Structure 1
Amino acid sequence: MRTRLVVLLTLLIGCVLAALSVPFGRSIAAGRQQEMFVDRLQDTSQFAAIAQQATTSVAQEALRDDLERYADLYGITVAVVGRGGTTWAISGALADLDRDDVVERIRQAAAGHQSTAPPTIWPWSDRPIVVAVPVIRGDNVVAVAVTVSVAARLRVSVGRDLLLLFVADLAAMVLLGAAATRLATWVLRPVYVLDAAARRISSGDLTARIGGVTGPVELRRLSTTFNGMAQAVDLAMQRQQAFVADASHQLRNPLVALVLRLEALGMGLDDQQRQQFDLARDEAVRLGEILDELLELATVVHVAARPVLTDVHDLVGGRIAAWQPLADRRGVQLPGPCDPQPATAAVALVDPILVSSALDAVLDNAVKFTPGGGWITVAVTAAATAVDIEVTDSGPGLSEDDLTHVGDRFWRSAASQNIPGSGLGLSIARALLETTGATLAFAGVEPHGLCVTIRLPRPAGGGA
């Protein structure tokens, strides 16, 4: 954003400097040219006055001498051309009188019109300055005095002035560009701080706040508003978590008492009544499990992770050994962890207790939904920056739409409504992994099944 703002400010500065410099450059060139034109006009008018008085051969010879001295001194072609096209006197380059612009100026002067200032001559122009003044005797124009001045010095002078103006503009652009960069940094610093705090909050860190920042007063006021909003969100989340924890805890005791009373009432029931009693007891037990998971989910956010260097192979092997008896009872194959890269050390920087609890939830889900005769594979893959644990099962799997919801709280697919569970296990696993800096991802398996990937961060350097 700062780069775009600096570019925008620089463009605006450039437009302002161009709007000021272009007219100023034109005025410089016009002023230099006007000085030269006025000087040539005075000289040409003087020659016209001399030609007006040159009625004798002696006077005309004196006129030619004056023209020669002027041409030798200034290098300017000067001539007096009669009304009929005859040349009374000339000094300098005769070919200059054949130029179209010179012929046109002589024609206008012969009609009684004195030359006006020509268009602006720029350093890249090659036009001379032509000044023609009519020679009048009585009421008639009898001749035209004309000077043709090469504008080389004028072009050099104007070019030097324009170059100085360009250098000044360039220096101003550099200085103003540096000032624009400082200004953009000052204006956007609170925005960067706000963005960083918002990212922390979106990642789950509700303690993120903005300290004293500089910048425009509107952005400083926005920082104060942001802190108030973050405080309100944090307080609301704390109240929600406290309510869930308190409700779960308070409901557990009466629920336990209810189960005990049901057990007492179940004595001496006949078979039909016993069937209804078992259904009621199972629902009470299921409600107790949901309350336990709610309490666990509410307390996960308060768990402080203690990351240590952890051998992922050992951790996964231990959890597989713990779940092996249940998998055997259900007739599900659950071999030890597979490592496609046996020579790579699978070391991650995580809290092993939290990762073990999350892996238990994933394995529980896999064993629960894999039918008898199916299989579950667990693979550990070490990369440069992470270690992946992939748990793949041969269960029914999930549709593309279901994959977007798996892991949400209380969500269960339509095909698994009759399977015991609360829909909180994978939500708890995700919350536990996020606490220790890990992530949880889900993908389908062909022809059917589910692949759950736990990605654990590696220490700097990849570990030992």
Structure 2
Amino acid sequence: MRKRLVIVFLIPLVAILLSLGGAAGWSAARSIQQAVYSEQVGDLSYFATTARQALNSGSAAVFEGEAERFEEVYGIEIAVFDLAGAVWASSDPDRLVLSEGEAEQVRLALSGRRAEPVDAVFPWEISDATLVEPVFDDGDVIGAVMISAEVDAPRTAIFQQVTVLIAIALVSIALGVLLVFQLARWVLSPVRRLDEAMVAIERGEMDARVSEDTGPPELRRMTRVFNGMAEEIEHVLARQQEFALNASHELRNPLNALLLRVEHLATGLDDDWRDDIEETREEGRRMARILETLLNLARSGRADSMFSAVDLTTLVERRADAWREVAGPRGIDVRRFGDDLVMCVTDRTIVESALDAVIDNAVKFSPMNSLVEVAVEGGNDVCRLTVRDHGPGLAGEQVEYATDRFWRSDDSGDTPGSGLGLAIATDLLASIGGELLVSSPDDGGLRVALVIKNGAFE
């Protein structure tokens, strides 16, 4: 943004300075050329009078003496031409050959045409300045006077003027660049601080704020809005953290009491109940692990993942057995498919919780007497758990909203739920570097894939 802002300010500034400098340079060059022309016209008028007297008297001695002294002092050549166009008198007797342009000027002067002002040219295009004026006597042309001067002095003056203007333009551009950079820094400083504050908030520093005392008024207002928004987000997250902390803490006591009662009941049951009691204990321990994860998340703002080698096949088999009991009354079978042994270095609790949320969603929307397929696939970099149901599924445009919080399909009808299951599973997997992929098979239903990053290959 700073680069674009500098370009937007700098290009017009440089264009304006160059335009003004070019116009000033052209004006200075034109002024010097006009001054030289005016001086030549004055000298030419003086010598035209002297030439008329000399031509009438038929003696060139006086004129030549005066012209030679003038050339010695000013370096300007003077010559008089008769009606035939031949040199009649000159300050430089050796000058007998005229250039093509000078010959044309002499011809026009002998025809009675006066000298015209010189056109404006660039200083490097200026050649020797030559003017020719007709000599009149009683209205008749009796000859012509030519004055020719070198232009080294005016050319040098023009170049000096141009050099000064270039120096002024360069200094002005340098000052303009400095001013534009300072202006861009002043304008963008609140934006830079806003960016730094947003990065800090993204890192979890919820108390990051931006000073509101610098920058343009419009950006100061944006800064105040940002600070208010950050304050509100901090309060909301604090309330969420307090709720999660209180809820998880309050759930620990009844869960511990429930586990103690299970142990007490186990002492009065025979061996036929051993498997059921062990499954109940395992569910209780799993709930305790989930609550501990929730407590850690509430305290620190992030889950401290406990990575270990997990047998995903066994994990899926156990969760399928657990959900088979829940889905059994509706005739829904939850069955595992896929590889017999899939090992993955990941967080067991998070994978279990995410898988439960997905299976719960699949069972909830499956029709009676249907099948929920849970497949396990291994890989070096990632492992994949796929849950496939045969319910109503989702239309193509609805799939992308399936993981949004509180979103439910219009076809869900009276099916209980809050629209949080897949969103929670997505967040859980994201905390360990995984992702949740939702798709609609061609033959109906919904396929949800849990892609789990294998920590052993990082």
CA 1:458–1:380: 2 relative to 1, 3 Å: closer
* C-alpha separation in 2, matches of 1:128 and 1:316: 99
* C-alpha separation in 1, matches of 2:398 and 2:341: 28
* C-alpha separation in 1, matches of 2:175 and 2:452: 49
Aligned residue identity for 1:357: S
Cα offsets for 1:39-84 (capped at 9, x unmatched) = 4334434432431331467741453566578779988664323467
* C-alpha separation in 1, matches of 2:5 and 2:46: 61
Q: Please, what TM-score do these two structures have when normalized by structure 2?
A: 0.66
Aligned equivalent of 1:212: 211
* C-alpha separation in 1, matches of 2:82 and 2:214: 78
How much does 1:25 deviate?
Answer: 0.7
* C-alpha separation in 2, matches of 1:334 and 1:83: 122
CA 1:428–1:137: 2 relative to 1, 3 Å: same
Cα offsets for 1:87-117 (capped at 9, x unmatched) = 4335547443645983697379x35x5654x
Aligned residue identity for 1:96: S
Aligned equivalent of 2:11: 11
Larger deviation, residues 423-432 vs 438-447? 438-447
* C-alpha separation in 2, matches of 1:418 and 1:101: 108
Cα offsets for 1:305-344 (capped at 9, x unmatched) = 2455836x737456424324247771523335998xx9xx
How much does 1:34 deviate?
Answer: 3.4
* C-alpha separation in 2, matches of 1:106 and 1:457: 100
How much does 1:431 deviate?
Answer: 4.0
Aligned equivalent of 2:105: 102
* C-alpha separation in 2, matches of 1:157 and 1:338: 95
Q: In structure 1, the residue corresponding to 2:397 is in which secondary structure?
A: helix
Cα offsets for 1:353-412 (capped at 9, x unmatched) = 4454234323443565567456333446666xxx57563526454212221321234433
Which ranges in structure 1 are unaligned for 5 or more consecutive residues? 251-292
* C-alpha separation in 2, matches of 1:232 and 1:225: 11
Aligned equivalent of 2:302: 305
Q: Please, what TM-score do these two structures have when normalized by structure 1?
A: 0.65
How much does 1:190 deviate?
Answer: 0.8
Aligned equivalent of 2:374: 376
CA 1:243–1:185: 2 relative to 1, 3 Å: same
Cα offsets for 1:234-272 (capped at 9, x unmatched) = 44676689799999999xxxxxxxxxxxxxxxxxxxxxx
- Asked whether 1:31 is paired with 2:31, we answer yes
How much does 1:425 deviate?
Answer: 1.3
CA 1:301–1:83: 2 relative to 1, 3 Å: farther
CA 1:185–1:114: 2 relative to 1, 3 Å: same
* C-alpha separation in 2, matches of 1:189 and 1:248: 44
Which ranges in structure 2 are unaligned for 5 or more consecutive residues? 251-289, 326-332
1:393 to 388, 395, 402: 388
Aligned equivalent of 1:119: 119
**Equivalent residues in 2 for 1:225-374, closer than 5 Å:** 225-232=225-232, 234-235=234-235, 304-307=301-304, 310=307, 314=310, 316-317=312-313, 319-326=315-322, 330-336=333-339, 353-354=349-350, 356-366=352-362, 372=370
CA 1:400–1:74: 2 relative to 1, 3 Å: farther
Aligned residue identity for 2:109: I
CA 1:132–1:7: 2 relative to 1, 3 Å: same
Q: In structure 2, the residue corresponding to 1:314 is in which secondary structure?
A: strand
Percentage of identical aligned residues: 27
**Equivalent residues in 2 for 1:153-164, closer than 5 Å:** 154-155=154-155, 158-159=158-159, 161-162=161-162
CA 1:194–1:133: 2 relative to 1, 3 Å: same
How much does 1:24 deviate?
Answer: 1.5
Aligned equivalent of 2:407: 411
Aligned equivalent of 2:424: 428
How much does 1:189 deviate?
Answer: 1.9
Q: In structure 2, the residue corresponding to 1:400 is in which secondary structure?
A: coil
* C-alpha separation in 2, matches of 1:413 and 1:463: 38
The question of whether the paired residues in 2 share the 8 Å contact of 1:391 and 1:452 is answered with yes
The question of whether the paired residues in 2 share the 8 Å contact of 1:366 and 1:376 is answered with no
Cα offsets for 1:110-141 (capped at 9, x unmatched) = 35x5654x222204536653334454546665
Q: In structure 2, the residue corresponding to 1:332 is in which secondary structure?
A: strand
